[in-house]
Amino acid sequence: MFELNIKKVAMSAVAVTALTAGTAAAQEACTNYTVSDGDTLATIAIAAYGTSNYQPIFNANRNTITNPNALEEGLVLALPCEDGSLPNGQTAQEIIAAEEARAASVKRSSVYEPPIKLVTGNGWAPFADETLNGGGFITRLGTTALQRGGNARDYSVSFVDDWNSHLETLLPLGAFDVSMAWNMPDCTNRSYEWSWETEVRCTQFDSSVPVYDVVIGFYSLPESDYAGATTLGDLKGSTICRMDGWFIHDLEAAGLRAPDATLMQPITARECLDAVLTGVADVATFEVQLFADTKSEMGLTEKDIVENPFVTTLSSLRFISHRSNPFGKQYLAMLNRGMNEMRESGEWYAIVSDTLREHNEKLMAASN
């Protein structure tokens, strides 16, 4: 993994506006910040960017942050810039262009090999969505990886929005080779009773190396008893909302399943936040980027709904193939090689930051 010395990535235009409005803060974008006692990633993000979405800070400091809930006093964090520049002074676009030019100069084999059939789904911007350049950054990372690390493999990309169908029919029947991107449980942990979903993921699918680490937050009303929970176990007895098709193995492992907790699974994040606001659910839980976007779309503030500062889970998005696919492990190995090279060259970080910039610009345009 390449080291980030200045660490600059694209942040939201909302953040830029907040910075240029003139409010002075100890935490400023494009600087290194030393963590003080009581700091959290969310409070740092709010002070530096005017948004509670701290996923970009987490991305920029992934090698340093081991637990987003427990920042050590004195830890030095690089706070990303809004312009997409990377530590070596190149912009994200410059790094991507240089890597594409280098890959184009590699001699390709004349032996025909069928394109690898990739599938993902819409409605999960900035991760996967046809409206974004390259289909979102998870899609861009997958397609780029097939041209890096010694790979030169053709591919096709399809978007099937019924995510559950990827697991239930599309990959098992061989309609596609690899699906992007999925949270995989720790399949070595049998200390809890696996759900059908966890059983299927662990016994029927193989997965790539981690592609992107997401922080999963837990959100409740400010006055809720669960707002001050310090462990996942403290959420026992609650009604928890996480969307249909999302993983639940982190909840299962903490004992948050019937009869100790009630799980709601609507379709959208907005429905989960509505359930908390109306008292139908006690806690909503999904990744912090989606929370920041949905909260903004709904016009909510910290007076309406808050993120628990003590309880989060981490999960890695991966590429998966079905074990019945005779070439599945080979394709995943190719993706792994490409991903490893992209992390070393900085292209991984460039693609992520470039897509975040595009996504946030679209959100700003839609709000105007």
Residue type, 257: R
Which run of H or of E encompasses 252?
helix 249-253
Q: What is the Cα–Cα distance from 216 to 312, expressed in whole angstroms? A: 5
**Residue 22 pLDDT exceeds 50:** no
Q: What is the Cα–Cα distance from 115 to 219, expressed in whole angstroms? A: 42
Axis-axis angle for helices 41-49, 13-20 (nearest 10): 60
Q: What is the Cα–Cα distance from 280 to 273, expressed in whole angstroms? A: 10
**Residue 5 pLDDT exceeds 60:** no
Residue-averaged pLDDT of the chain: 87
Those residues with Cβ within 8 angstroms of residue 249's Cβ, 6 or more apart along the chain or in another chain: 183, 185, 186, 194, 195, 197, 198, 201
More confident: 55 or 242? 242
| Per-residue DSSP letter, 256 | -
CATH code for the domain defined by 213-315: 3.40.190.10
Summarised one tens digit per residue, pLDDT across range 43-57 is 999 898 888 888 888
Write down the residue that tokens 């907005």 correspond to: 270
Those residues with Cβ within 8 angstroms of residue 186's Cβ, 6 or more apart along the chain or in another chain: 249, 253
Write down the residue that tokens 């594409």 correspond to: 100
CB 281 within 8 A of CB 240: yes
**Residue 273 pLDDT exceeds 90:** yes
More confident: 85 or 355? 355
**Residue 150 pLDDT exceeds 50:** yes
Which run of H or of E encompasses 157?
strand 155-159
At residue 9, the pLDDT reads: 35
Mean per-residue pLDDT for 344-364?
A: 89
Domains 13-79 and 93-177+325-367 share a fold: no
Task: With 0.85 as the threshold, say if the pTM is over it.
Answer: no
Mean per-residue pLDDT for 60-73?
A: 85
At residue 12, the pLDDT reads: 37
283's tokens = 């806690």
CB 138 within 8 A of CB 128: yes
Q: What is the Cα–Cα distance from 197 to 185, expressed in whole angstroms? A: 10
**Residue 20 pLDDT exceeds 60:** no
CATH code for the domain defined by 93-177+325-367: 3.40.190.10
**Residue 86 pLDDT exceeds 80:** no
Kindly state which CATH superfamily the domain 13-79 is placed in: LysM domain (3.10.350.10)
Mean per-residue pLDDT for 203-210?
A: 96
* SS3 assignment for 78-121: EECCCCCECCCCCEHHHHHHHHHHHHHCCCCCCCCCCCEEEEEC
**Residue 87 pLDDT exceeds 90:** no
Domain boundaries, the chain: 13-79, 93-177+325-367, 213-315
